[in-house]
Amino acid sequence: MKWMRSRWAVAACLAPVLGLAGCGDDEPADTAPPTIEAGDRYVAIGDSYTSGPRIGETSGKPGCEQTTGNYPHLLAAALDLDLVDVSCGGATTESLTESQTPPNGKPVAPQLDALTTDTDLVTLSIGGNDGKVFGNLVTTCVGLASRDPEGSPCATLAGSADAELASAIAGLADKVADAAKAVRERAPEARVVVIGYPQVFPATGTCDELPLATGDYPFARDLMQRIVAAQEAGAEQARVEYVDVWAATDGRDICADEPWVAGITPVGRALSYHPYAAEQQAVADLLQARVGD
């Protein structure tokens, strides 16, 4: 991933994905997911699309930007669960097995350390921060737009290393699968659910809130779709559940009339290029419908 580390040096906060050795691929699938009941222990693992920066009161470790308006808190309140939220803005795959020091915060423990044998539910939202892919889309690509507003300077920059980029994203499926398997090793009785990312970039059109070069819009959306596809494939490979947030947020991207993801200048409480409260509520509702009675 040299192209992302050297030429795309600037990145924003998003997701944790990890590469771990898991249990064998021949592990049988769960045929009847355990029912989640009031009082069950729920561990939320993820990045800033899970921690929900600025959409509620601050909670959790300083610097991780967890808020009470994020979907783990909303789900826990709806189902009366015992929540352990270890999501943290800027987390990468290594943050699941190694200590992370978030901006303006102190070191936090590896996220998988929160898992116990009596954990009943685990949600994972991972993938976007590996290789700084998402961060580069909303920082480097935006920064390049002024050089060629009607062109595709970001896609051109990445083009010389397209095979490497494709390989990096293709590898995410295995990393998501390994993460889910590692969760099951530590919490063998838990119901494990992988949460996909929402639609951030529009299918058509452009807008001031997403100041990419015109030709880079399709590139950004395609890259995000590939990340989400890897999340789903990883969940399938590990034989755990998957919640499709992409489909549920159709028409709610940054350029929508009623966006669920903030643009460069958030309207209300949100961090730039991160979910609004409505998106987090939608994810909580999807999860409640999936795991609740």
User: For residue 239, what is the domain's CATH number?
Assistant: 3.40.50.1110
Does residue 242 form part of some domain? yes
pLDDT for position 160: 58
Does residue 47 form part of some domain? yes
Give how many domains the chain has, as a whole number. Answer: 1
DSSP string, 229-269: HHHHHHHHHHT-EEE-HHHHTTT-STTSSS-SB--SS-SSS
Domain span at residue 142? 2-22+34-291
pLDDT for position 23: 40
Of residues 6, 48, 51, 160, which has the active-site annotation? 48
**Nearest CA-CA partner of 220 in 154, 170, 160:** 154
**Nearest CA-CA partner of 7 in 117, 114, 160:** 160
Of residues 51, 87, 95, 274, which has the active-site annotation? 274
Does residue 109 form part of some domain? yes
**Nearest CA-CA partner of 254 in 188, 216, 205, 193:** 205
Give catalytic status of residue 73 as yes or no. no
**Nearest CA-CA partner of 208 in 263, 145, 155:** 263
Does residue 74 form part of some domain? yes
**Nearest CA-CA partner of 45 in 92, 2, 105:** 92
Question: Is residue 9's pLDDT more than 70?
Answer: no
Structure tokens at 259: 């966006």
Does residue 256 form part of some domain? yes
Does residue 13 form part of some domain? yes
Give catalytic status of residue 48 as yes or no. yes
pLDDT for position 61: 83
Show the CA angle centred on residue 257, arms to residues 253 and 259, nearest 5°. 35
Q: Dump pLDDT digits (tens) for 162-184.
A: 666 777 787 889 999 999 999 99
pLDDT for position 103: 80
**Unique residue bearing structure tokens 């709806």:** 78
Does residue 28 form part of some domain? no
Does residue 29 form part of some domain? no
Q: Dump pLDDT digits (tens) for 95-146.
A: 888 899 988 788 999 999 999 999 999 999 988 888 888 888 898 899 999 9
Question: Is residue 4's pLDDT more than 90?
Answer: no
